[in-house]
Structures are given as structure tokens and as C-alpha cells.
Amino acid sequence: MINGYDRMKNWLWIIGLFFVLSLHAEDGHRLWLRMERNAIPADVRLAEGMGRTAILDIASRELKDFWKGEGRVLLCVSKGGATRDGFTIRKKGQDMELSSASDRGVLYAAYDLLRRQQTGDLLSDGAVVAEMPSYDIRILNHWDNPDGTVERGYAGRSIWKWDELPETVSPLYEEYARANASIGINAVVLNNVNAKPQMLSTGMLRKVAVIADVLRPYGIRTYLSVNFASPKALGELPTADPLDADVQRWWKKKTKEIYRLIPDFGGFLVKANSEGEPGPQDYGRTHADGANMLADILAPHGGVVMWRAFVYQASSPDRACQAYEEFMPFDGQFRENVIVQVKNGPIDFQPREPFSPLFGAMQHTQVMPEFQITQEYLGQSIHTVFLPTMWKACLDAETYRDGGGTVVEVTQHRVGIHSRSAMAGVANIGDVVNWTGSDMAQANWYAFGRLCWNTELSAAQIAEEFLKQTFSADEHFVEPVRQLLLRSWDTAVSYMMPLGLHHIFAFGHHYGPEPWCAPPNTRPDWLPKYYHRADSIGIGFDRTVRGSKAVLQYCEPLATLYGNLETCPEEYLLWFHHVPWEYVMRNGLTLWDNLCYIYNSGVEDAWEFVDLWQKAQPYIDTERYEAMLMRFERQARDAEWWRDACLLYFQMYSRRPIPADCPPPIHKLDDLMKYRLHIDNYTAADMDKLP
């Protein structure tokens, strides 16, 4: 018989075993930074005559803890070296020399060396690596609110614990800073573009200053989104007119307060006169008036204004045209420390869009790309969609502007226009243990930083780097999963919105399909029918010279290419044209049959991803394998839902049968319309209840 003492010993043993096992349980928190700490520190030294800085101390510590090389590592900051955070690594025998014109560059060199060690990309004797970042400002935009919620966030609540600051500083802040520095991100906007005036209150600024103090030693500058009406809300002024002297004085005083607290403050991000946000147009002023007022106040401090071009009004006949119409009249009128921040496409982070025409049109203004890392329109934290393939399609697109140039070339550092270039990404980070809600979604955070640093990297290179560092370097794992990632964007587009279809999501949350969505008293440009325009004749938005004329916003030959039904790239066909159902496409199929086959191919690919992931099981930990398997299976079922919803709905207009060799829908349209597919409401139990 077991007495009470023995029972207690057994329970303590079980608890102890559970604790030991929990120490080894994989929760995804370490991201791609999985180096094994050295038992004996590596030999890392500063070059003779160099002074220590907080950034150099971190570079030295990282190398001492994790560099496995046998020789010494010499860190050198030299005025004659590379500029703009660039660095050089030289291998001399067993020794390494890391040099840069800045301590930040040395830190990036340290992380580059450790990345090469993790991925097996080792340097031979005499090798020289020289790196220069593609963009000066490589910035994450957090859409985090003061109450801890995150707009378009799918990974829990905000990592910024405003109610605990400034007294309590979460260790997450430094872990976050380290992760960003390791991939070259050097700037962060802490709060939502739909900014609350309270972010500029003295109490909040003191909290911001504490976060900035943590980020600074990792080479990261802090920025804030600002509400244009802040002088009215905080300063009790009757106006926020940018040409009003009292308004200018308020902003000048507030900016001085910010720089007293945060000497290296980066500047302001502004969303104005869009989706109900206040702006200069409220007072009969222009975007240039508003941006330039703030820019003049920031200029003495070295700050910049990032003024978003995401604007649209309910009255516009084509939302895709409005940013061009509002900003092009002011090309060349913005101050040198203003950067116009342009979403990659002309609508709103859709699964596939042509690049925004502003990249080719604004020739006298610095513009910067804005990408969405958080997958608002691409399955959120459930679906695996590797976004560098989409971002590269935008960055590598030829604009055909005067003198030519890809989107990358016209947004990078440009002598004669502005002294700074930038690229922004809307963060997918929250306070869940694995940071992004899905272990594979970490790949897009990683990829954004790497592309900001080097736009010449291929999506395949980035995928391989991420997988080797985050999961396993075993080629039996890396190669098939890399191919999965590289196919994932095309797959998602196929089962969501192929051939240029766009914005046919569920109202509000944007997870599932609702091409039928039409809530009463809702502005037309928030509804799918505004975009797909399906009728008995065909489907698609006519943006040719006969329609909204959006094609004319592109430089030639793109305007003619996109405007001609016969030459328009088929991936954008329904973006630019209203196409008859019986139109014969280049593969000989009618538009309707083609839609059916593409939707079905997306579903088949999604189920193939489940099989590929199951084959990866022997090479990774159980915890992340099981978590991702659930997501891949959910993604495949969601793909079926998307296919059935779209084809059954559009079939009401086409009145054509689904091809006999396509699998028939597994759902009924009435059921699909009654049950709104959402990130949180399609569990295994829900699936069992479905017809």
C-alpha cells in the first residue's frame, strides 16, 4: 500500500519530470535565432583605439556566445569603410575581421557571420564579403493600439504593455530588438496608423522613451504614428489647420518634447484624410501642405515624415485611381525629409495586384513601398503563404518611367531627390509565445528584413535561410518545404482570387469568401460586387479607356499592354477588364472553365501541402509539426470553402456547368452564405457539423 509520503514522492517525481520535459518543449519562441551557446567564449576583440559603445558591446557578446570559429574575431569601426550601415567581413587564416563605418554596421556583420555559420555558408581563407543595405530606413509598422489590441493582428495582443510602462519593462522588448537587428531592421513605428491623439501625451511619450532606450542599443530608431488632429485633442486648439500659426507652434513644442525624451527619434508616420482619419483636406489644404508643415518642424532634429498615399473616398468611381489622382498634382512639392509611403498595389494588400502606378509616376518625390507582413487578406495566421514571392513581383516590376527603372530602382537611395530611402512592412507580431501565431508565419517577418537589406536576394534563398535556421538543416526537410513555400502564394491566389479578381472577402474580418456580401447602408467600395462586377455577360472591373481609365496611370507600354484584352497578362485580366464568360483564353479554354480549373488546382495544391508536411515529420520537433499540421489541414479545407463559394456564386451569373472533370462542390451555396467562415469559427467540431 502506498503511504502519503510515497504518494507525495511520486507526485513530486511526476511534476519534476514534467518540468524537465517542458524545458525541452518547442514553442517557437526562439524564432530563427537558435545558436548553441559556447561553453568557452570566442576570442572577440575591438580594434586598437576603438571606444566601446552599447551596440559594439552587443556585437561582441553575440560573437563570444555563439561564434564557433577557432581564430579570433576583430571588430573595427573605420571612417574609411562602408557607409549607410554597410560592412565588410574578411577571413584571414582562422581569423575574421568585421569592419564598418558605424557600430551598427559591425553589429549587422556579426549577425551575418552567425547566419552563415547556422546555414553552412562558411567562408574560405582570403574570402571577402561586402554588404550594403538596399534601403536606408528598414521599418516595421506596428498597428498596435494603446489599449493593447492590434488592428489586423492575428497573434494575440500587443507586445507593448502600456499599462505596465514605464515602471515595468518586459523582457520581450529586448528579444524583439535582437530579432530585428539580426535581419537588418533598423526602425519601428510603435503604434497604429489609425493613431490616437493620446500617443503624443506626455505620459505616453515617457513610456515610448523607455521602449526606445531598449531598442537603441540594437541600432533601432523609434517612430510614432500621429493623429493629424492632435492639436485639437491635446492642445485644445479650435483647429488643426497646418497653415495656422498656433497649430504650427503646438507641433513645434510637442516635437521638442519628444526629442528631449528620445534624442534619436526617427519621425512621424501619418495617415490623413483616409477612412475617416483627419487631415489637411479638412481645412481646404493639400497633402503637401500637411506633410511639409510637419517636415519643417522635424528637419532641425533630423526627423522624417512618412506620409501614406492610402487614400480613397466613397464617391470615387474607381478606388484604384484615387491615390494617383490625389498625389500626382503635388509631385516635386514635398520637402526633402518627406517620403510618400505607397502600398505595393493600388487597392489594399490584395492577394495579387499590379504594382501601384505611383511608383512610376512620381518622378520628383521620394516614394517608399509598404508591404503587409500580417496576412490580412491571405489567410491570416492560419494559411501558409510565403510573401517574398509577391513582394519580389512588385519590387522587380519595370515601371517604364522616364529613364526606366524597376520599383526597387526608383525607390532606393536616389541622389538629387532625397537623402533617405525606405521600405515599410506592417508587422505580424503579437504577444503569443511564438510571436506570429503560426510558426511558418515567422518566415515573412524574417523575409521582410532580409529583402529590406538586400533586394537582390531571391525568394528561394530567403526560404532556405529561414528553414535551416528555424527548423532543420537536413536537406530531406529543407528542399521539399522550400518548394512548398515558393508555391504557396500562387496556390493561395488560385483558391482565393485568380485571374485578377480582388476584394471578394467577408465583410470586416477579411478571412473567408463572401462575393455576395451586401450589408445595407454600406458604402459601395467596401463591398465585393463593386470589384468583381459579375453579371450575365461576364466578370471583372473595366479599367480600360472605356471604363475607369486606370490603365492610363501607367507609363507606356504598360498602359497599352494592360488596356488590351488580348495582351493583358492573364494574372491581371479581371483586374483591368470585364471579360465575357465565353471568352477563349490562351490555353483554349473559356474564361468560365478556366476559373473552375484554377480554383480546383488551388485546392489540390493545398492538400498536397498537407502531404508534404507529413513527410517532414521525422526531421523536426513534435510540437511545431503538430501545430503546423493542423494549420495545413485547415488551410486545405478553407481552400475547398473558397472554391465552392466563388464558383457556386459566380455560376448563378455564368449559367454554365462546372467541367465534368472538375470535382463537384462539396458544400451548398445556401450553407456557405449562412455560415460565415472566420479565423476562429471553423474548428474540427465545426467541420463535423457541416453538410
Q: Cα–Cα distance between 244 and 261 in angstroms, integer?
A: 26
Q: Cα–Cα distance between 371 and 135 in angstroms, integer?
A: 14
- Please tell me whether residue 348 adopts helix, strand or coil conformation: coil
Q: Any catalytic annotation for residue 275? A: yes
Average pLDDT, the chain: 94
Tell me the β-bridge partners of 584.
590
| pLDDT at residue 558, rounded to an integer | 98
Q: Cα–Cα distance between 301 and 87 in angstroms, integer?
A: 27
**pLDDT over 50 (residue 12):** no
Tell me the per-residue pLDDT of 230-273, one tens digit each, with 9 for 90 and over. 999 999 999 999 999 999 999 999 999 999 999 999 999 999 99
Considering the candidates 275, 535, 670, 680, report the single residue annotated as catalytic. Answer: 275
| pLDDT at residue 80, rounded to an integer | 62
Identify the band that residue 15 occupies on the pLDDT scale cut at 50, 70 and 90: very low
User: With contact defined as beta carbons under 8 Å apart, do 583 and 590 qualify?
Assistant: yes
Buried b or exposed e, range 411-427, using 16+ CB within 10 angstroms: bbbeeebbebbbbbbbb
Tell me the per-residue pLDDT of 536-591, one tens digit each, with 9 for 90 and over. 999 999 999 999 999 999 999 999 999 999 999 999 999 999 999 999 999 999 99
Residue 437 DSSP label: S
Tell me the per-residue pLDDT of 166-223, one tens digit each, with 9 for 90 and over. 999 999 999 999 999 999 999 999 999 999 999 999 999 999 999 999 999 999 999 9
Cell of 680: 476562429
User: With contact defined as beta carbons under 8 Å apart, do 654 and 592 qualify?
Assistant: yes
Q: Dihedral of the CA atoms 595, 598, 604, 605 (nearest 10)?
A: -150
Whole-number Cα distances in Å, 149 to 199, 210, 212: 14, 20, 20
Show Cβ contacts of residue 602 under 8 Å, excluding neighbours closer than 6 positions.
491, 492, 493, 494, 495, 496, 498, 639, 642, 643
The string of DSSP codes covering 471-482 is T---HHHHHHHH
| pLDDT at residue 17, rounded to an integer | 39
Tell me the β-bridge partners of 396.
none
| pLDDT at residue 316, rounded to an integer | 80
Q: Any catalytic annotation for residue 353? A: no
Q: Cα–Cα distance between 481 and 475 in angstroms, integer?
A: 10
Q: Cα–Cα distance between 280 and 46 in angstroms, integer?
A: 51
Considering the candidates 376, 439, 490, 605, report the single residue annotated as catalytic. Answer: 376
Cell of 132: 550594403
| pLDDT at residue 77, rounded to an integer | 95
Show Cβ contacts of residue 149 under 8 Å, excluding neighbours closer than 6 positions.
157, 158
- Gyration radius from the chain CA atoms: 26
Q: Cα–Cα distance between 551 and 555 in angstroms, integer?
A: 9
Query: What is the 3-class SS of 481-496, one letter each residue?
Result: HHHHHHHHHHHHHHHH
Q: Any catalytic annotation for residue 490? A: no
| Cβ atoms < 10 Å from Cβ of 61 | 13
Answer with the residue of higher pLDDT: 675 or 216: 216
Q: Of 665, 519, 491, 494, nearest to 595 (Cα)?
A: 494
Question: For the whole model, what pTM was predicted?
Answer: 0.95
Considering the candidates 244, 348, 571, 621, report the single residue annotated as catalytic. Answer: 348
Q: Give the relative orientation of helices 459-470 and 103-119 as an angle to the nearest 10 degrees.
A: 80
